[in-house]
Each structure stands twice: as C-alpha cells, then as structure tokens.
Chains A and B, each alone.
Chain A
Amino acid sequence: MRITTTVNGTRHDVDDVWPGESLLYVLRERMGLPGSKNACEQGECGSCTVYLDGEPVCACLVAAGQAIDREITTVEGLATGEGLHPVQEAFVEAGAVQCGFCTPGLLVAAHDLLERVPDPSDLEIREALAGNLCRCTGYEKILDAVRLAASRQARA
C-alpha cells in the first residue's frame, strides 16, 4: 500500500508498505529517518517516541496506515536550522546522554512536557517521562536536563 504522510514538515510518499508494518519501521527503513530508535517494539521503552498530530506516541504501536495524511515530527525535526534544540543542548550539557539509545525518545517526551508545562515540578517530569526507559543514566541527569531546559526556557 502507499503511505502519504508529512514528516518534519516534508511530504513523503512511500510505496509497497506492508499494512502490518509499524510507523517506526516506515520511518527508519523506508524514509531513512533512523533517529527514532527500535528497542522493545511493544510500547514499553519509549525510545521510538514521535509526535503524531502533535501528540507523543510510540511509533512502534502505530500501524503504518494509521499515519496516512497525519503530521509526524521525529527527533530529527525538533531543531530548526543548524544548531540543536534547547532541550537537546540541555541533555548534552547535563550529561543526560550516555549510550544514547533512549535519548531520541526522551527528547521528544521532554520537549512535549515543556511545551505543555513550561515550569514542571519534579513529579510532573517523572510522570511525563514514565514511558521512557534508560538503562545507563539512572535518570538523575535526565531530570537535571529537563530542569535546565525549563529554566532556560523561562529566561528566554
């Protein structure tokens, strides 16, 4: 089947998609956007988190056809221009990135939180990131990164 969808502001037409494929597979293997990571394929780890019509979802749980005519933003679309997005900067500076596998999903989840809640409490951060697993950092540096991004956002 043919999938027509808008990803990071660009229209994509992809042919010969198997209807049982996930949006994650389409993004990574058919559109050449490997930023969203494929880890658990069951919605447990959050490393494939993308925006689907403005809502953070696990791309592995969206059937390819469900993305037809929808707007998708992946981690590749967070930054505009050459530099990193402020949330990405904060992750780098706070040491929230170790092996990096969970990072794309956490960035989208953190970005979504800060769009909705500019000055989140620790509880709100934990709740917003509850669907994203990280096996390296122990999460403390990730929480630091979100707090850092929030404080910079408040000053900007």
Chain B
Amino acid sequence: MDFLQPRSWADALAARAERPDAVPIAGGTDLMVDLNFDRRRPGALLDLGRVAELREWSVGDGAGGGRTVRLGAGVPYARIVDELGDRLPGLAMAARTVGSPQIRVRGTVGGNLGSASPAGDAHPPLLAVGAVIEVESAARGARRIPAADFYTGVKRSALAEDELIAAVLLPEAAGPQQFCKVGTRNAMVIAVSAFACALHPDRKAVGTGIGSAAPTPRRAPEAEEFLAGELDSAGLWDSRGELPETLARAFGERVAAAASPIDDVRGSAAYRRHSLSVMARRSVLWAWTQYQHDLRKAA
C-alpha cells in the first residue's frame, strides 16, 4: 500500500487521476475502521489532510440574491459547530450529533459524502437546504451536483472515479432549520432514523431531508409542497400565526410515506417510519415557533 500526501488541491487531483486504486482519506473516522478490521486493502491512501484549501469556508453571493456558504470538504464537524451555527443552523445541529468530541474534530462533510452511507448525519440538512456538491477532476475540471442527485444507492454516489469532493455550497439560512436523530443514546450513535427540515420564508418553501430510512438519503418532496402550500393558503407565512397541530401531523405522515426503510439490527422499518412522522411533526413545530419568535425579535 502506498501513502500519497499531496500538499495542494492540484496535486491531489493529479494523484486521484493517476491512482484509481487510491482511496481518499480525510478524518479517517470511517475508512480507518475498514483498514483496522482488514475489510479493505486499497492500493494506496490519498491523504487530503494537508490540502489547506479543503479546510476553509467562505461566504459569497448566491443565486437569487441570497448569500452562499462554500464549505470546504475537509472542514471538520467541530468547526462547523463552532463557526457556522448562525449561517448553517441545520448542518451545525447535525454536526453536534456526530459521534463524539474525538470524532467531530476529525470527521468531515466531505467524508460523509464520499462514504454516502444512508445513515450519514450531514445528508438530511444538506437535502433540506438544497445544497450543491462541488466535485472536480484533473481531466474535466469542476462540476456541481445537487445533493438530491448525488446519492445514487447504498454507499454509492455520483462521484466519478477520478473526481474528488471539493466543497459543498449551501445557502445561508433565510429561516429556522431543525435536525432530529433517533438512536439508543446521545453520543456515538449511528442514526436509526434522522430528519432535517428548513423553512425558507424568502421563497415560501419548505425543505426536508430523511436519513437512515431508504437506500439513500432523500427528500420528501410531497410533504414539502403540501406544507408550503397549506402555509401559503392560510396566509401563515405573513401572519406568522400558530401552525395547527393537525397540519404538522399531516406533514409528518407525508414525510414517513416518502421513506422506504428496511428492518435491520438498529431498528424495524415500521419503527423508522413511525419515528420519522414524529420527528417531522415535532421539528416543524419547533421551527415554526422559532419563525414566530424571529418576528418578535425583528419587531
């Protein structure tokens, strides 16, 4: 096994192109487990830890007049919690639930995407805000893949063999965002099921992301359209009146219907569906309460 340690993004892309048998490693929190247990023996490790560009984030103008955060693929979860809680509240909440302190200082969103496990904690909030994944190869340059198109199967993604994940582009939050995750304890949990929601009052839209309850992380588009439509027709986006419990419940049922979970060691399909409906109902009520509170703060 070889150990490749590029010092720049260009060198990393060149190494990726040259060595299709190399496996990229960032925080190592997933890959090293496979190496330790001899489940995987790649021809080379491509260590991205020395590529400074990957560990940076910046804010720029986004589509539609908003601001966009460009989050380097190698920014560890601990820094997302510390530095981006205001701009990316949903992702920061999810980041807080990742593993343990030791895992959060190492693990990265790029790693979560590279592994593309349906249980990855970062995926639901990326889906809920319509994040875009920026990938790049030495041969074809950069391209952008919407998160919803990135996940193609269990631990499979749209990433080509010669590509690396450069960054994730996320709109700065225009409204409240929430994240929930079910597991057996508060730390060190692989999600039994997870859910993220985002209110986008600027375009009167609702975003969702489901984790651990389908072959890939996925949105619940019908639930999104249903809730946004109901809020609109009741004039609630403008009045910021109470969100009826019945509406939140109906939203939760639609979120659960969007999942296609399986029975496994962590939980049954029925439990995953049920927990999703509960998480969706609760989290949207939390988000709505925040939305009402935001107005009082602004007033």
Binding site for B on A (CB under 8 A): 1, 18-20, 22, 41-44, 46, 49, 55-58, 60-66, 68, 109, 112, 127-128, 130-132
Contacts and interface: CB of A to CB of B under 8 A. Distances in A.
A24 to B, nearest CB: 9
Contacts of A19: 1-3, 44-45
A68 B101 contact: no
B28 interface: yes
Interface centre among B3, B35, B44, B105 (most CB of A within 10 A): B3
B102 A62 contact: no
B29 interface: yes
B110 to A, nearest CB: 15
5 contacts: A20-B41, A22-B35, A22-B36, A46-B102, A131-B187
B99 interface: yes
Q: Which 10 A-B pairs have the closest CB atoms?
A: A131-B100, A130-B187, A19-B3, A41-B36, A65-B3, A61-B32, A42-B33, A55-B105, A131-B102, A20-B35
Contacts of B188: 44, 130-131
Nearest to A105: B102
Chain B interface size, under 10 / 10 to 19 / 20 to 34 / 35 or more: 20 to 34
A63 B32 contact: yes
Contact of B25 (A55, A66, A127, A130): A66
Contacts, number: 91
Interface centre among A22, A43, A130 (most CB of B within 10 A): A43
Contact of B33 (A1, A61, A65, A130): A61
Nearest to A131: B100
Nearest to A24: B36
A109 B102 CA distance: 9
B85 interface: no
Contacts of B103: 43, 58, 61, 131
